Amino acid sequence: MLHIDYRDSRPIYEQIVDGFTRLAISAVLTPDTQLPSVRQLAIELSINPNTIQRAYTELEKRGVTYSIKGRGSFISADCDTLRQTRLAELQADITSLAHEARQLGATDTMLLHWMQVQHTKEGGQP
Amino acid sequence: MLHIDYRDSRPIYEQIVDGFTRLAISAVLTPDTQLPSVRQLAIELSINPNTIQRAYTELEKRGVTYSIKGRGSFISADCDTLRQTRLAELQADITSLAHEARQLGATDTMLLHWMQVQHTKEGGQP
DNA sequence: TATCTGTACTAACACATATAGTACAGATAG
DNA sequence: CTATCTGTACTATATGTGTTAGTACAGATA
């Protein structure tokens, strides 16, 4: 379900947080879906349970999940807000990168190509 | 000439490397321009000389600068290659972010707006 | 010679990451 | 009830990275 890259410079707990966040935002995991238990996921990923717990604590703090002692951790209901937040981040990042690319000589045509925008008149996808 | 943000999670030496790299790529610093000496920049930024030297070593390793013992460090001549490398990075990043944004519901119109592309017909900003 | 430059090296400290082990409280199936 | 699952809290330890501190040496130059 999750993919951890040990060569990645980002810490494991952060990769777990991002992974479940993406799954929740993209609706791959629907609200109230139960996450693997702290110990179970630790075994699956061969990672210390403390690291998993740190990720789960962060996920709950961010509102991606909710936890019930003795029962488990579950995907939150309001992922719409999270999606809007993520889209705002993406907008800021893309705008900044596009600005830098333009300063280095990138043209509109190049940028459109990079983003694979359907810039012809006839419409989008089937 | 450089701006260091201590609240930034990125290490200082990396900010210095990126700063001079940008100045070189964008031709704000022309080839053979002398950089501040290790000790001088350390004083200006109130940073340990070792940290500056680490940045300078990395800059030379990346081909952004060249160093001559006893004389100083200078901007390299071939910044065109660096610019192309950076543009390739930007392309990869923008493509990836645009893909994610699209999966979250972003439309072509939104993306074009974010990148402030001058569409052929509709004009500039309100 | 005096003073600038880059460079190399060791030592120490702070911090984040990750592991290891133990423990406690609530939920649930037997 | 007991057994076993769940989340949670806590201390301790090891490790890697970033940064500072200090010393030293070699080359360039006025």
First to last CA, chain A: 30
* pTM to 2 decimal places: 0.87
**B23-60 pLDDT, tens digit each:** 999 999 999 999 999 999 999 999 999 999 999 999 99
pLDDT (tens digit per residue) in B82-105: 999 999 999 999 999 999 999 999
B20 CA from D13 C1′ (Å): 40
Tally A–B CB contacts below 8 A.
80
What's residue A119's pLDDT? 57
Averaged pLDDT, B104-119: 88
H runs (alpha helix) in chain B: 12-25, 38-45, 49-61, 79-103, 108-114
Please list every residue in chain A whose beta carbon sits closer than 8 Å to the beta carbon of residue B87.
101, 104-106
pLDDT of B5 over the 70 cut: yes
pLDDT at A22: 95
User: A22 and A74 in contact (C-beta within 8 Å)?
Assistant: no
Contact A98 B115 (CB under 8 A): yes
Minimum-distance CB partner of A115 among B87, B98, B118: B98
A40 touches strand D (CB under 7 A): yes
- Sorting pLDDT into bands at 50, 70 and 90, what band is B117? confident
Sequence-distant contacts of A74-77: CB under 8 A, at least 24 apart: A74/A31, A74/A32, A74/A33, A74/A34, A74/A35, A75/A20, A75/A24, A75/A29, A75/A30, A75/A31, A75/A32, A75/A33, A75/A35, A76/A24, A76/A31, A77/A31, A77/A32
**Would you state the pLDDT for residue A78?**
87
DSSP for A15-44, written as a single string: HHHHHHHHHHHTTSS-TTPBPPPHHHHHHH
Q: Which residue stretches of chain A have pLDDT < 50?
A: 121-126
State the nucleotide closest to B46 in CA–C1' terms.
D20
Residue B42 in contact with partner chain A when CB distance is under 8 A:
no
Q: What pLDDT does residue A122 have?
A: 41
Residue B116: the pLDDT is 82
Preferred mutation among B10, B82, B115, B125 to probe A, highest tally of A CBs within 10 A = B115
Residue A37 is predicted with a pLDDT of 98
Q: What is the DSSP letter of B109?
A: H
Q: What is the pLDDT of residue A124?
A: 37
Tell me if chain A has a CB within 8 Å of the CB of B97: yes
